[in-house]
Structure 1
């Protein structure tokens, strides 16, 4: 059973004895009901891997103007989400300063995790402050971050996993470097992230968390920008490719990763686009 540190949402204070060794924050996608959304399976697998670990849902609108989520614009939702990530991470770290932290987000949830952890602002959504809103103390305790279908995706970042060579609908500027690149994996080319990459993400997180718990890991200062990762979701020449991808986002007219006999058609910019047979 997933343990959720819901006490924090109500302003309760944790004692040192109540603090877990590992705590995971999860952020859902646009229009998903309150909870972890698609990120839930990855969050659950991480919690299960560390006895006593707890999880916490990022409390934000997760909206893109739809009436089902209150009509909050995507930009406003994203800005509120970045603030929520920073506030919740900083609050938990202040109460449990020794706990190792993990960030997991899908779609808009990946975007707000990316913006909060890497900084740089997000002019696409009107976020002009380029500072990293997560405190320096909390930054040191974040062992790993998993972004899935992140709209901020751009090709060439060292932490990209997958075959996507298109940019997201809210891309990072050319030349962007995240100061915590070595702690991140960003998956971009499949809707079945938990199926295609769940075990890869879990292995990455376990290694990073265990290193930090043992004192041999750090917060990372990687700045590499080469390569697109080592994911296995690209399929083979027989056409058995991943069927979904968000990398193109709004205005996407076709991804470079599509294989014959597949063609690419946008069916929904939020949260994803789809590769379909011709």
Structure 2
């Protein structure tokens, strides 16, 4: 009877040890799933869209809570879509998660300034995160209105906090729509305009990225041309058209 009890106790301990070992091995079994998420984050091409003021926000959160899991592209959605659909490489698209506000409010008391500050920070962090991917990952930035302003500020040589050399090298194409900081005479402007925007950027501030940028600004635009008349806002909100979106995607593809 005693021998039987000892054998039963031994079997119980053995079973418990096997079970604990199996539990200990579970994280190892889950590793491939984490690798899959990482691989998706570091796609061959990553397109980041930065929407304009008060355009609809997305939902959920991407890696690092800097982008939306779904939507949030606003006017940049078309260029992102055509870049993805016309490319043979693996393309991941994501929209920057930031307030996109202008006027002060309870959740955003600083209005445009606070929104811009948050946008620059989130974009910079996202770009530095993508810089940890392999050199095969190429980054594309597409911004409209306030979103274009944020992208330009982030890349500007006048910013006190500069992107790392690796992050800068990963950026292969930049498209700006209706940029309030539009400056007449820059080589990357799609059309030669004589007027500058509401907040014109200093000459040469984006020189390091000039060959990778295409800035689209319609004549009579309220912000990129600083025009104040009855049609100015209508013009500013007309960049979401197929012709322009495909032209932007063609430029992007030429840089990848």
Question: Given the two structures, how large is their TM-score scaled by the length of structure 1?
Answer: 0.62
Rounded to whole Å, the distance in 2 between the matches of 1:66 and 1:185 is 31
Superposed, 1:184-223 pairs within 5 Å as 184-189=213-218, 191-195=237-241, 196-209=243-256
Q: Which residue is 1:273 aligned to?
A: none
Q: How many residues align?
A: 190
Relative to 1, partners in 2 of residues 1:83 and 1:157: Cα closer, same or farther, differing over 3 Å? Answer: same
SS of 2:207's equivalent? coil
1:42 aligns with 2:79: yes
Cα RMSD, aligned residues only: 2.5
Change (3 A) 1:162 1:71: farther
Task: Please show how residues 138-153 of structure 1 align to structure 2 within 5 Å.
Answer: 138-153=167-182
User: Partners of 1:120 and 1:28 in 2: how far apart?
Assistant: 23
Partner of 2:188: 159
Query: Displacement of 1:31 after TM fit?
Result: 1.0
**Secondary structure of 2:79's partner?**
helix
Assess, with a 3 A threshold, how the Cα gap between structure 1 residues 80 and 108 changes in structure 2: closer, same or farther. same
Mark the runs of 5 or more structure 1 residues left unpaired by the alignment.
1-11, 122-128, 210-278
- From 48, 53, 67, the equivalent of 2:91 is 53
SS in 1 for 2:252: helix
- Of 100, 106, 112, 1:74 maps to 112
Cα drift, residue 90 of structure 1: 1.2
Number of the residue aligned with 2:51: 28
Q: How far apart, in 1, do the equivalents of 2:117 and 2:54 lie?
A: 16
CA positional deviation for 1:39: 0.8
1:104 aligns with 2:142: yes
- Rounded to whole Å, the distance in 1 between the matches of 2:40 and 2:116 is 34
Please state how far the C-alpha of 1:25 moved relative to its aligned partner. Answer: 0.5
Distance 1:198 1:21, change over 3 A: same
C-alpha deviation, 1:137, in angstroms: 0.8
Moved more, 143-152 or 69-78: 69-78
- Say which SS state the counterpart of residue 208 (structure 2) adopts: coil
Bigger CA drift: 200-209 or 63-72?
Answer: 63-72
How far apart are 1:32 and its partner, in Å? 1.2
C-alpha displacement of 1:79: 1.6
Q: Deviations over 1:184-212 (max 9, x none)?
A: 00011154334242222111111101xxx
Aligned equivalents of 1:154 and 1:114: distance in 2? 11
Does residue 170 of structure 1 match 2:208? no
| TM-score normalised by length of structure 2 | 0.67
Q: Which deviations, in whole Å up to 9, do the C-alpha atoms of 1:89-148 show, x marking residues without a partner?
A: 111231454211100000000011111123323xxxxxxx2x43x221121121100011
Judged with a 3 Å threshold, the aligned counterparts in structure 2 of structure 1 residues 162 and 68 are, in CA distance, closer, same or farther, namely: farther
Compare 31-40 and 14-23 and name the one that shifted more: 14-23
The whole-number CA distance in structure 1 between the counterparts of 2:36 and 2:165 is: 21
